[in-house]
Copies of this chain bind each other. A is one copy, B any other.
């Protein structure tokens, strides 16, 4: 097996690689938990070689990477491109590797000056979405640790906002006093009631959080219902903050299936029907688009 190029999705907590043929097909794939968060700059190249070493021959090969690998704390900083702009730029950020067989290019993240905001990795998913939905006009929502709400028009990203809903949910349910009251399981009714409550009265969020703990102590509240309510309060508050993205333009949700379904249920409770798209394939589609562009512009 001799791949034509290698696609890399390098996030904070995971590294995924694909060996690609000339037609854009996948010959092989591999992954590890060598995410940016646990690597010093010197450790990136060895971490990559551990996965793609078996695919290399004597001649150089293009490696197209996206995600936190290009952050200031990553392998090599790929400066942000400023909005409004298409999700992919005309040039990628080159990294000089010690191994001469590696011709590495990193896809830059995007920045918005005001309100200040940044993304790294999602621009590649959005580029992948656009290859499948050319000319799309409207709103994308990419739920996750840091959820992104994105406004697209004429194949350009016009504006976006990030919420920390996923990270705050994890901190509150694992590291705060609420950890004693939440448990596994899902109660849809508790979730949607909390979504509506927090959306309609976002100021109440701060008092309703400790009430989850008190309800556990006083009324023996079901830990699954408590977890669902915590999620609903946070997502409801997020939807109140991002209403200008989705109220007039039902969003397309791009992300992990379970989380995307929860967002769709939350939006449905507020009268909006969202469309769901699995995000897993979109990153690879975006990496393909970036590779095609590089190949095209660099062909003499």
Contacts and interface: CB of A to CB of B under 8 A. Distances in A.
Interface of A: 72, 80, 111-113, 115-118, 146, 161-165, 167-168, 171-172, 175-177, 202-211, 213-215, 217-219, 234, 237-238, 240-243
A9 to B, nearest CB: 19
B211 A117 contact: yes
Contacts of A238: 206
Given A168-B176, A177-B167, A117 B205 contact: no
A117 B210 contact: yes
Contact of A165 (B206, B214, B218, B234): B206
Given A164-B176, A168-B176, A177-B146, A211 B241 contact: no
Given A164-B209, A175-B175, A207-B242, 12 more contacts: A111-B217, A112-B214, A115-B207, A116-B219, A117-B210, A117-B214, A161-B210, A163-B207, A168-B176, A171-B172, A205-B237, A206-B237
A205 B237 CA distance: 8
A162 B116 contact: no
A234 B80 CA distance: 29
9 contacts: A117-B210, A162-B214, A163-B207, A167-B177, A175-B175, A202-B205, A203-B241, A205-B237, A206-B237
A116 B168 CA distance: 22
Contact of A164 (B117, B177, B203, B219): B177
Given A111-B218, A146-B177, A171-B175, A163 B116 contact: no
A41 to B, nearest CB: 16
Contacts of A171: 171-172, 175-176
A28 to B, nearest CB: 33
A212 to B, nearest CB: 8
A206 B162 CA distance: 9
